Each structure stands twice: as structure tokens, then as C-alpha cells.
Amino acid sequence: MIEPAMTLANRLRAGETIATAWSTLAGPVLPEVLVRAGYQAVTLDMQHGMHDFASVVQSIAAVVHAGGHPVARVPVGDYATASRLLDAGAQAIIAPMIGSVEDATAFVSQIKYPPAGTRSWGPGRAMELQGVAEGQAYLMSADAETLGLGMIETRAALETVDDILAVDGLDGVFVGPADLSIALSDGARCEPSGEEVQQAAGRIAAAAIRVGKIAGIYCNTLKDARRARDMGFTFISWASDQAIIRAGVSALLDPFAEG
């Protein structure tokens, strides 16, 4: 059984900073390798990545067996899949484009058991991966030990972030800086590292911290990741599997090409 103090939820609530790799390439081997190489968590992206339901389910098990925390980002509005992935053992779900209280409420409804939500019962695989033998034990801890993070990446979400964070059962927020940049510039630019977005990210982190909820963010550069940590973000994505591979290849081949 996973020790309660070692769950992703409790580590983040205790103020620990967790770095997650961002997995876009389908298949369980690479997420496992990323954990064994040092990442504490891997986020499996179904929205823009190549993952489908089967590859995420396989990758969740691989990440757990490697000693990491599996997280999944579902497609926009696909809250039914969010519930299924919790049943498969995901420890957190990131929901994109949460732009209103209504969006956040609909998301929470699918990922939390009554009375907070309407999640349907069927967590057999999650119980196996967590080493929980009794359904009652899982039921009593599931809502606290599985996280729902709503992505703040639109002008409407930024303007109502306090109301979104007030939704009972939403565990925190996750900043999508690319879409937020596009939204704030009315489609004129995509500058996730730009000052306007970084200032907005700081406001979002502060709002989450004020109410004791989790603040997460996707970072495109090491500078962004360090700045996010200084802002108070504790769940930080840096970097994607494709970026890691490119950086590794360059580190190997560039010195060789130079002779």
C-alpha cells in the first residue's frame, strides 16, 4: 500500500515542490524511464499529445512501478475520461480550459465521490496499484488522495480565478501559459515566457496559495521553471519528453560534430 505521506496529494499539500515530465509520446516505456532518471511525476497528455486511453492506462502502471506519480491531462471537456483514468490509477487529473465556475463544477462532479461529486464506483485497477485491499478503505481516502486541477488559460478564467478556486472539491489550478498568452493578446501572439503571462501566472499562484490550494504550471524554459518556483508554484512541468530527447541528442552529437 502507498504510504499516505508519500502520495502526490499529501506531498503537494505539505508544500513540497514536485517536478513533472510532460509525456506526449504514446507508450509506457518512456514515462517509466523518465521516472527512473529522476522525475518525481509524469503527466500523460491526451489533449495535444499522442496518448490515447490505452497508452495512458499502460503508462500509469509503468510510472507507479518505477516509483513515480502518474498524472493525466484529459481532452477539453472529457470529464468522463477523467473518472476512468482515476479508476486506472492516475493520482491527479488536469482538465484544460476551465473557464468558469460551471466548468470547474462539472469537472469536480466526475472525479469526486458523493457528496462532493457523482463519480461512479469501479476503482479496481487503482486499488491494485495502490495496494488497497478493501473498497471501503479506498472510498474513505480517494477524494483526498486524488487531485483535480483546473487549467487557467483564458481571459475569463483569469478574471474569475478566485471563484473557480472556491469550488468545493477542486484541489487546485494549473496554468497553461501558451493559451493564456494567445488569449491575453487576443490571438496576436504566443509568448508563454512573456512578461504579461508571467505576471498573470504570479497572480494565479497567489490566489491559490491564499485559499490553501495547489498551484501548478507548465514551463517552457529553465528560467520560467525557476521563476515559477519563486512565485509559489509547487507542481511544475519542466520539460516535455520530446524536448528532453532533443536536448539529449544535442548534448551527445554536438561535441562529436565539433571533433
Catalytic residues: 48
What is the rounded end-to-end Cα distance, in angstroms, of the chain? Answer: 52
Q: What is the distance between the alpha carbons of residues 156 and 104, in angstroms, rounded to a whole number?
A: 13
The DSSP element (H or E) to which 125 belongs, if any, is helix 124-130
- CB contact at 8 A, 218 and 176: yes
Residue 10, classified by CB atoms within 10 Å of its CB into exposed (0-12), middle (13-18) or buried (19+), is middle
* 254: CB partners within 8 A, 6+ apart: none
> How far apart are alpha carbons 152 and 175 in whole angstroms?
5
27 Rama sector, left if φ>0, alpha if ψ -120 to 50, beta otherwise = left
Which residue from 27, 2, 6, 31 is spatially nearest to 18, judged by alpha carbons? 6
> Chain-centre distance of CA 23, in angstroms?
11
Grid cell in block for residue 230: 519563486
* φ and ψ at residue 141, rounded to 5 degrees: -115, -15
Return the beta strands (E) in 27-108 as ranges.
Answer: 41-45, 69-73, 92-95
| Residues 67 and 33: beta-carbon distance below 8 Å | no
